Every structure is written in structure tokens, then in C-alpha cells.
């Protein structure tokens, strides 16, 4: 993990408080958690929709010291933006480096009503207890540049649609420039679509068409009205971009990225590219995460995970959380007091207790040593006598062992010869039994059997076959050759007939392979 607490947490939990969805990542594998629970081992991050905060730009004199900067920004924010003094706002800021001014510094302000934070994150906090970071959604995009997923200094536009918000954010030279909530969330689109269509249709039917139907490949009655809806949307985006060009002196927009909280079939970026005449693509990048193919990981969760993996020095630090986890026990005032009290108590009693323990330990050690000496002395005397007897027995045993080894070697050599004859010698009965059924099957008889073995011919079993028909002998040999092809080599040179008995005889030689 790339957070300041990267060595303390084993996983990252990203929270969408508006949709109540939770994604957990461990070792770059991301999966959705249906029932998230509190864990001290996880780092929790969430975000604020663009319509949840007020954004503005102010200038502060460079003469203001750094330690007074926060107070100066707060005072000027209430004055210039006419904020209600009765409302408790949280104000966070990032410095704007696009403006080069020798006398003043410029800051982007992000202002949130504290009560809105409580309402938005109430359910999430019930489940996970603590949220380490709550950052404006538009500032999450910075990580795409610091991680070099987008490696360009051009001016880019990021458009993102959710159920309850839609936003347009502009980055230039890899830095945040402008963001605005636009009235084209999925709920707003549904309401406007019903107005264009002239009839109220269920929100689920509207979303089903939005996510499952490609306008290029449909003849639905809804097609015409969706096209009109998208044209109004693109016209609104064009108005915002025109304003931003004038306000921030932008020459042109190089690229627009369009993303949605749900997977859609219609390619909005293609329509926007045609209408506004500059490059556009889906808000979809290779973040380097592994996930199941069955899960749709929307861009906001991907950006939160990426933001957490980015070093604090390379991202915008703009944290609105009020749900921080308590510090470690040793860092709390109460914890330090308890530790100091315990240490003082131990020090006060350590000397007398240590002296008594050492004295008692020495007395015990002396008693143990005396007892051990008596036991060791008796053992020593007994063992000296035993060793003397054993040495004498050793000499006798060595002579006997030498004789036994000679006898053993003689017997071993004899057994080897016997083993070679018994184990390696192939018994005629074993070979005959193997062929008995096959010989009987072909009505062939065996008049005699011979077995020979030498280094030249190897092990050969000779069967003298007798049959009333020469064809039976031929069939037998063909069968044996086929069945025992890899085990034996069969050789039948000729078949003779006995004129007196009218029987056919043949000599079948079986060589063991």
C-alpha cells in the first residue's frame, strides 16, 4: 500500500456511501464485500460527490506566513463566498499552480456542510467504524497522472455519471483546474427522458435499456428519445467547456474520458467525439488490479484504490473525514499517564525486591550444587570401574568380531550364488503354465519340453508340439506372437508330418527377451 500507513494495514477498503458498495483489495486482488465489517487491519477510503461540496478559487497574499494560512483562507472564504455564519462548514484546499503571480498565491477551495457529512456517511460508519480518508471525487483523478497511467500534459476532461450525481472535471498540465456537478445523473436522466417520451416509465426499465441496449443496433420506440436526451446532455457539456475555456484561458481540449457507474452498451464517448469534434474515449484504464471477470468495478472504486496506493507527496491531500480511528495506546495522553505510573511503581520497588530475589537465589544455588556434587562423585566412581571392565570386554569382543566377519563374508558369498540361481533362473514350470491355456485353446499337444541357457543364445524354452492339423500349430504361433510380442521371441522353423500316425510335429523355440 502507498499510504503513510502502508506498513500498518494489510488491505484497502473503498466505500461508495451513496450506493452502499464496498470493495476490498489485498495484494492487488479486488473483490466486492457484501457485508463489510470493522477491521483494524484495513485502510478505509471514501469520497464526496461533486454536488456535495462547494468549490471556488481565491487568492491569498504571499506575505501570509504558512502557520496562519488556514485561518486566512477560512476568513476569506466566509467573506467572499458569503457563507452562512450559523452553519459549520469544513473547508479544505489545494494550491493552484497554474496562476503565476509574484504577490499572491491561488487556492482551490472545497467546502462541505458538516451535517451533510454525517448524513452521507452514517450507514458506512455503522459498518466499518472508521474512515481514514474522505476526498472529493474530482481529486482522485490526480493519481492517474502520478502513476503515469495518463502520461500527457494536455488539457483533459473527465465526465462521470452516477445514480445521484454527474460531474465534469478538467485537468491541465497534470493538475486539477475545474470541476462542476451537472444535472444529468441517472435519476435526472430518467426524469428528463419521461418528459421527452410523454409518459412515466419505471426507473428499472429505463436503466435496463441504458445498460443493455446499443442505440446503433435497436429499433426500439425509446431510441429517438434517448438520442434527444444524449444531445441535450452533450450540449450542456459543451456549454460548460466553453465557459471553462474563457475563464481559464484554455486553447483547446485534447481528450475527454466518459465513465459510468454501471456498464453500458451505448458508447457515449463516440457521440461526444462527433458532436464536439475532439478525441474522446471510455473512462477505463488498466489500473493493475486483479479481479473476478463476473464483477464490474466502476471507475470511482478503481480511483479510490489507486489514490490510496499513491504516495501522499504525489496526490492531493484534501481529507474531510471526521471518523478517524483513535491513536495507538502509547500515543494517547491517558495511555502515557498509565505507562509512567506503572514505570514509577516498578522503579520504587525494584531495588529491595531485586536484593531479596538475588539472596534467595544464591542460597538455593548453593544447596543444589552440594547435592549435585555428591551425586556426581558417586557416579564418577561407578563409571570408572565400569569403563575398566568394558575395555577388557572390548578386546575379547574385537577378536570374536574379526572371526565372525570372516564367517559372515563366506556365508554371504554363498548366499549370493544361491540367490542368483534361485531368483534369476526362470523356472520351466512358470513358463509352461503361462502358455498352457493358449496351447489347449488351439487343440495342440506338447510331446516334450526342453530348457537351455547360455551366454550366446540366452534363455530358451523348446516346446515339441503335436497336432492333427498343421493349421492349428500355425494359428497357435500367430496368436502367441501377437499376445507376447514384447515379452518373448517365438521361432518355428518347420512343421513335419508323421506318415504312420498322420500327426504333425514341430519344434517351437521361445526365447525370453
- Residue 11 has phi, psi (to 5 degrees) of -150, 165
Q: Is residue 457 part of a domain?
A: yes
In angstroms, rounded to a whole number, what is the distance separating the alpha carbons of residues 252 and 364?
91
- The total number of structural domains in the chain stands at 4
Q: Which domain holds residue 118?
A: 1-149+285-325
Least confident interval from 29-33, 358-362, 468-472: 358-362
Cell numbers 481529486 label which residue?
139
Q: Is residue 332 part of a domain?
A: no
In angstroms, rounded to a whole number, what is the distance separating the alpha carbons of residues 48 and 54?
11
Same domain, 155 and 226: yes
pLDDT at 349: 63
Q: Is residue 411 part of a domain?
A: yes
> Could you tell me the pLDDT band of residue 40, with boundaries at 50, 70 and 90?
confident
Same domain, 143 and 164: no
pLDDT at 428: 63
Same domain, 199 and 311: no
In angstroms, rounded to a whole number, what is the distance separating the alpha carbons of residues 253 and 281?
13
pLDDT at 444: 86
pLDDT at 48: 96
Q: What is the mean pLDDT of residues 46-59?
A: 94
In angstroms, rounded to a whole number, what is the distance separating the alpha carbons of residues 311 and 314?
5
In angstroms, rounded to a whole number, what is the distance separating the alpha carbons of residues 188 and 166?
9
Phi/psi class of residue 277: alpha, beta or left (left: φ > 0; alpha: ψ in -120 to 50)?
left
Same domain, 167 and 276: yes
- Condensed to tens digits (0 to 9), the pLDDT of residues 208-259 reads 999 999 888 888 889 999 999 999 999 999 999 999 999 999 999 999 999 9
Same domain, 27 and 59: yes
Least confident interval from 18-22, 46-50, 127-131, 417-421: 417-421
In angstroms, rounded to a whole number, what is the distance separating the alpha carbons of residues 118 and 447?
107
In angstroms, rounded to a whole number, what is the distance separating the alpha carbons of residues 473 and 479?
10
Q: Is residue 201 part of a domain?
A: yes
- Condensed to tens digits (0 to 9), the pLDDT of residues 380-437 reads 888 888 888 888 888 888 888 888 888 888 888 888 767 655 654 555 667 677 778 8
> Could you tell me the pLDDT band of residue 355, with boundaries at 50, 70 and 90?
low
Q: Is residue 330 part of a domain?
A: no
Same domain, 192 and 235: yes
In angstroms, rounded to a whole number, what is the distance separating the alpha carbons of residues 153 and 175?
9
- Condensed to tens digits (0 to 9), the pLDDT of residues 1-34 reads 444 444 467 889 999 999 999 999 988 889 899 8
Same domain, 188 and 273: yes
Give the domain-ending residue among 425, 455, 479. Answer: 425
Same domain, 59 and 137: yes
Residue 84 vs residue 513, higher pLDDT: 84
Q: What is the mean pLDDT of residues 97-106?
A: 86
Q: Is residue 58 part of a domain?
A: yes
The answer to whether 170 touches 177, Cβ cutoff 8 Å, is yes
Displacement of CA 373 from its chain's centroid (Å): 63
Same domain, 9 and 128: yes
pLDDT winner (highest mean) among 10-14, 99-103, 139-143: 139-143
Instruction: Name the 3-class secondary structure at 513.
Output: coil
Give strand pairing partners of 279: 255
pLDDT at 393: 86
Same domain, 5 and 103: yes
pLDDT at 401: 87
Same domain, 251 and 140: no
In angstroms, rounded to a whole number, what is the distance separating the alpha carbons of residues 410 and 407?
5
In angstroms, rounded to a whole number, what is the distance separating the alpha carbons of residues 333 and 320?
25
Same domain, 375 and 434: no
Give the domain-ending residue among 397, 425, 453. Answer: 425
In angstroms, rounded to a whole number, what is the distance separating the alpha carbons of residues 85 and 269?
43
Residue 463 pLDDT more than 80?
A: yes
pLDDT at 1: 43
Give strand pairing partners of 350: none
Give the domain-ending residue among 395, 425, 455. Answer: 425
Residue 329 vs residue 448, higher pLDDT: 448
The whole-chain average pLDDT of the chain stands at: 86
Q: What is the mean pLDDT of residues 89-109?
A: 90
Say if pTM beats, i.e. exceeds, 0.85.
no
Q: Is residue 119 part of a domain?
A: yes
- Condensed to tens digits (0 to 9), the pLDDT of residues 295-305 reads 888 899 999 99
CATH number assigned to the domain comprising residue 199: 3.30.420.40
As given in the structure block, the three cell numbers for residue 348 are: 520504587
pLDDT at 169: 97
CATH number assigned to the domain comprising residue 456: 3.30.1360.100
Q: Is residue 260 part of a domain?
A: yes
CATH number assigned to the domain comprising residue 109: 3.30.420
Give strand pairing partners of 462: 450, 509
As given in the structure block, the three cell numbers for residue 115 are: 451535517
Pairing of strands 279-282, 255-260: parallel
As given in the structure block, the three cell numbers for residue 220 are: 426500439
Cell numbers 456511501 label which residue?
17
Amino acid at each position: 500500500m502507498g499510504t503513510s500507513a502502508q506498513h500498518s494495514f494489510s488491505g484497502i477498503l473503498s466505500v461508495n456511501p451513496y450506493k452502499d458498495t464496498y470493495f476490498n483489495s489485498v495484494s492487488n486482488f479486488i473483490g466486492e464485500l457484501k457485508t463489510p465489517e470493522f477491521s483494524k487491519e484495513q485502510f478505509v477510503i471514501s469520497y464526496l460527490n461533486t454536488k456535495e461540496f462547494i468549490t471556488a478559487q481565491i487568492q491569498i497574499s504571499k506575505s501570509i506566513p504558512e502557520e496562519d494560512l488556514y485561518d486566512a483562507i477560512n476568513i476569506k472564504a466566509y467573506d467572499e463566498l458569503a457563507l452562512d455564519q450559523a452553519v459549520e462548514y469544513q473547508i479544505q484546499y489545494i494550491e493552484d499552480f497554474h496562476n503565476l503571480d509574484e504577490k499572491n498565491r491561488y487556492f482551490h477551495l472545497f467546502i462541505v456542510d458538516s451535517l451533510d457529512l454525517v448524513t452521507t456517511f452514517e450507514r458506512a460508519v455503522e459498518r466499518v467504524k472508521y474512515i481514514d480518508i474522505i476526498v472529493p471525487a474530482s481529486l482522485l483523478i490526480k493519481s492517474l497522472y502520478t502513476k503515469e497511467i495518463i502520461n500527457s500534459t494536455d488539457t483533459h476532461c473527465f465526465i462521470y455519471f452516477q445514480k445521484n450525481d454527474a460531474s465534469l472535471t478538467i485537468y491541465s498540465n497534470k493538475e486539477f483546474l475545474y470541476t462542476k456537478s451537472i444535472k444529468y445523473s441517472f435519476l435526472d436522466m430518467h426524469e428528463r427522458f419521461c418528459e421527452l417520451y410523454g409518459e412515466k416509465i419505471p426507473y428499472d426499465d429505463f436503466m435496463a435499456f441504458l445498460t443493455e441496449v446499443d442505440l446503433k443496433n435497436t429499433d426500439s420506440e425509446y431510441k429517438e428519445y434517448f438520442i434527444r436526451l444524449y444531445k441535450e446532455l452533450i450540449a450542456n457539456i459543451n456549454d460548460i467547456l466553453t465557459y471553462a475555456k474563457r475563464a481559464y484561458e484554455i486553447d483547446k481540449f485534447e481528450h475527454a474520458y466518459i465513465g459510468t457507474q454501471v456498464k453500458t452498451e451505448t458508447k457515449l464517448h463516440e457521440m461526444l467525439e462527433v458532436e464536439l469534434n475532439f478525441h474522446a474515449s471510455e473512462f477505463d484504464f488498466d489500473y493493475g488490479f486483479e479481479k473476478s471477470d463476473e464483477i464490474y468495478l466502476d471507475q470511482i472504486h478503481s480511483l479510490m484504490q489507486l489514490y490510496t496506493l499513491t504516495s501522499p507527496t504525489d496526490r492531493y491531500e484534501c481529507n474531510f473525514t471526521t471518523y478517524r480511528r483513535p491513536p495507538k495506546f502509547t500515543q494517547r495522553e491517558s495511555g502515557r499517564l498509565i505507562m509512567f505510573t506503572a514505570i514509577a511503581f516498578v522503579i520504587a520497588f525494584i531495588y529491595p525486591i531485586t536484593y531479596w530475589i538475588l539472596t534467595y537465589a544464591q542460597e538455593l544455588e548453593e544447596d543444589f550444587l552440594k547435592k549435585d556434587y555428591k551425586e556426581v562423585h558417586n557416579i564418577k566412581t561407578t563409571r570408572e570401574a565400569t569403563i575398566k571392565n568394558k575395555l577388557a570386554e572390548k578386546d575379547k569382543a574385537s577378536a570374536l568380531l574379526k572371526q565372525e566377519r570372516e564367517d559372515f563374508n563366506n556365508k554371504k558369498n554363498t548366499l549370493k550364488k544361491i540367490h542368483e540361481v534361485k531368483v534369476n533362473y526362470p523356472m520351466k514350470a512358470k513358463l509352461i503354465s503361462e502358455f498352457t491355456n493358449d496351447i489347449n485353446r488351439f487343440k495342440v499337444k506338447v510331446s516334450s519340453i526342453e530348457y537351455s541357457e547360455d551366454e550366446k543364445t540366452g534363455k530358451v524354452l523348446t516346446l515339441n508340439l503335436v497336432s492333427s492339423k498343421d493349421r492349428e500349430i500355425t494359428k497357435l504361433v500367430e496368436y502367441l506372437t501377437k499376445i507376447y510380442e514384447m515379452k518373448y521371441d517365438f521361432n518355428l522353423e518347420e512343421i513335419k508330418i508323421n506318415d504312420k500316425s498322420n500327426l504333425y510335429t514341430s519344434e517351437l523355440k521361445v526365447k525370453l527377451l
